[in-house]
Structures are given as C-alpha cells and as structure tokens.
Amino acid sequence: MKLLYLWGLSVHQGHSEPLMQFVSDLGAIAPEANIFTMVMAMEATMVFLFSAIRHGGLKAYIQSNTANINYNNNNYDNDAKVTAHRLTQYNKWSLVIGLVFGWALMGTASFRTSEGIIVLVVHGFHACIGFSLIMLDMGLQSEIAYARGRPWTGRFRRFLAVVSFTLILVMMVMMGWSLLELDNPFHFMNINIRMRWSESQPGYLPHVISAFLEWAVILIVCPYFWTFISEFKGYSLSFKVENKRKELQTDV
C-alpha cells in the first residue's frame, strides 16, 4: 500500500510520469519524501523488533528442545546436539543480519536520491546492502526451517531467495542497459531525467523494466514474512515451556 500511495501521490503532484519509477525516486521530492522517510524509519524499527523477537523465540525453542538431551554417546542425542549447535549459530547470524538490514533501511531513507552524486551513491550503497541481506536472510531462514523439521517452509523460503536473486540480477542488467542508452551516462544521476523518462527518450524501456523488477523484489518480501506466522506460534509455546521448566527448577 505504501508503494501505491507514493506512486499515486507522485503522479498527482506532477513529479513523475505514470509509468514507472524506482521506489526511492518516488520518495525523493516533498511531500512524498517526508512520507517515504517516515515509513522507512517505521519499517526499520519494526525490523529491529522482529529480529530481536525472532532471535529470542528460536533461542527459547532450542533451550526447550535440548533440556532433556541425554549426553551419552548415542546417535539420537548426538544428532540433537549437532542440530542444536547449528541452530544456535544460525540464530546468531540471523540476529546480525536483521539488525544490519534495519540499519540499511534507515540509511536508504536518510539519503535521498534527489541530492548530489555523493548522497546518491551513499543511498545506493545502503539499498544494495538491504537487497543483499534480505536474500541472505531468506537463505539462512530456509536452513533454519529445514533444521526444525519444516521442509515445506524451507523450500518456499529458498524459492523466494532464488527468485529474488534472479530478479535483482536482471534489474541490474536493465539498469545498466538504460544507462548506456543515454547520450551521456551521467545524465542518469539527474533525478528529473529518471522521473520524467518518456518513450521518446533512449533507455526508456529498460528503465521501466528495471523499475518493475525492483517493485517485484520488494513485494516478494511480504510472503516471506508471512512464513513466520506459524513459526512464531511455535516460539510462543517454546517460551511457555521454557518458563515452566525454569519455575520447576526453582521450586526444586
């Protein structure tokens, strides 16, 4: 909804052509810029909270499922210990990725594409980190799902990671193509050219394709986060089990 609102407001204000702009460019000129920055800051805060809750939930799950491991040398318990160790390492990396991803969102919101070339480069740097980390997170969370015995979720997350990687790769190719089509590639740095790219200008088609692909990658994040709904329900149960176990230990 945020993307559609920014797109509609930008077209209504006469800041861009109806078809089709990069999301960051839609949030580069006031009043769209103010809304874009506010929404991105809120999303970054939600990512921080989500990452912390996800980390705590998986940690409680690991503890509740390893509390009764018999540390004798039998195959079942050895496998359980290996799985618990692997999940613990994945969980640490997952927290780091989530926090850095939130930081990348804040950076993307703070540096507008309507400013000078240095600011544009810094914005692009944060955006690249964000896109890279969300794909890495999809891959890591697919491994966590497999380790937890949730193969369907693992396959779906891995599928989303592969699709996202493919779309981003094609998007970069299209973006480079549109840049090379210009008489002066440095004109790509001019936001007015990007926002008002028309069919009569060179590089228009690859620009539109790359913008559509960027939107597609962002929208793919939605079903990815939906995969955590049932997982978080399981984490809630793990929290309760772990707290109950600690209460029993305290009573003893």
The CA-atom distances, in angstroms, between 213 and each of 36, 172, 174 are 19, 9, 9
Q: What is the pLDDT of residue 235?
A: 64
- Choose between 197 and 61: higher pLDDT: 61
pLDDT at 1 over 70: no
pLDDT at 11 over 90: no
pLDDT at 48 over 70: yes
Say which range, 47-51, 195-199, 210-214, has the weakest mean pLDDT: 195-199
Express each pLDDT in 173-200 by its tens digit: 998 888 888 777 666 677 777 767 777 7
**Contact, 133 vs 51, CB < 8 A?**
no
Cβ-based burial of 183 (10 A; exposed 0-12, middle 13-18, buried ≥19): exposed
Express each pLDDT in 154-179 by its tens digit: 999 999 999 999 999 999 999 888 88
Alpha-carbon distance of 168 to 174, in angstroms, equals 10
Cβ-based burial of 98 (10 A; exposed 0-12, middle 13-18, buried ≥19): buried
Alpha carbon dihedral 131, 92, 42, 18, in 10-degree steps, equals 10
Instruction: Give me the sign of the Cα torsion angle 106, 108, 113, 117.
Output: positive
Say which range, 44-48, 105-109, 120-124, 151-155, has the weakest mean pLDDT: 120-124
Instruction: Write the single-letter amino acid at 147.
Output: A
Q: What is the pLDDT of residue 94?
A: 94
Alpha-carbon distance of 10 to 28, in angstroms, equals 10
Alpha-carbon distance of 99 to 50, in angstroms, equals 10
Q: What is the pLDDT of residue 101?
A: 95
| pLDDT mean across residues, the chain | 80
Alpha-carbon distance of 175 to 20, in angstroms, equals 13
Packing angle of the helix pair 32-66, 2-12 (nearest 10 deg) = 170
Q: What is the pLDDT of residue 45?
A: 93
Q: What is the pLDDT of residue 92?
A: 93
The CA-atom distances, in angstroms, between 78 and each of 64, 82, 114 are 17, 6, 57
pLDDT at 75 over 60: no
Q: Quick one: average pLDDT of 14-30?
A: 71
Q: Quick one: average pLDDT of 16-38?
A: 74
pTM: 0.80
- Choose between 136 and 149: higher pLDDT: 136
The CA-atom distances, in angstroms, between 66 and each of 77, 178, 252 are 9, 54, 20
